[in-house]
Amino acid sequence: MRGRSALETMFFGPAALTRAVLPQMRERKTGSIVQISSVGGLITAPGFGAYCAAKHALEALSEALASEVAPFGIRVLIVEPGAFRTTYLAPRFAAFRPWTRTRRRSDPRVTTLPNQRLPLGADAVASMRGKLAQVAADIDANESVAVATAL
């Protein structure tokens, strides 16, 4: 799946579904929205630009939405699975996957977790921590230039 079709399916589809259920959740003053993203919502890989862009967009929308709907008793959880044994990604991800394969798990208790993000799989946790450490290092390395641009 490439380009516009990736965004239509993985961003605009969940956005439309969310928009459809929000009025009922607001009326009841409760609800949970669970967005299925991916480790690709934070991390990119060569050849996965459209996929990662769609997942990045879904995560940004979900983060903003979480703040908007919290006063109505609605929470948003972003689930970020790492690599799973599927026929969709397995052949293309093989070169970028130094981790071991994990098994898919489903647990209805995820809607009661206190945080906004739920990475799934050791690879997702390690990759996301690595990405965040790199972002922090980039900010630290460029801090003097960054703060010098302040008004």
- The pLDDT tens digits along the chain (151 residues) read 678 999 999 999 999 999 999 999 999 999 999 999 999 999 998 999 999 999 999 999 999 999 999 999 999 999 999 987 665 555 555 544 443 344 445 565 666 677 889 999 999 999 999 999 999 999 999 999 999 987 7
Asked about 51 being catalytic, the answer comes back as yes
Reduced to 3 states (helix: H, G, I; strand: E, B; else coil), residue 90 is helix
Pairing of strands 117-120, 74-81: parallel
pLDDT at 127: 93
Q: Which CATH number fits domain 3-148: 3.40.30.10, 3.40.50.1820, 3.40.50.720, 3.30.300.210?
A: 3.40.50.720
pLDDT at 89: 54
The one-character DSSP state at 150 is: -
- Per-residue tokens: 131: 């990405």
Would you list the domain boundaries of the chain?
Answer: 3-148
The one-character DSSP state at 86 is: -
State the burial class of residue 141 (Cβ atoms within 10 Å of its Cβ: 0-12, 13-18, 19+): exposed
What element of type H or E holds 24? helix 13-28
The one-character DSSP state at 109 is: G
pLDDT at 128: 94
Active-site hit among 11, 48, 51, 84:
51
pLDDT at 91: 55
- Per-residue tokens: 13: 């589809």
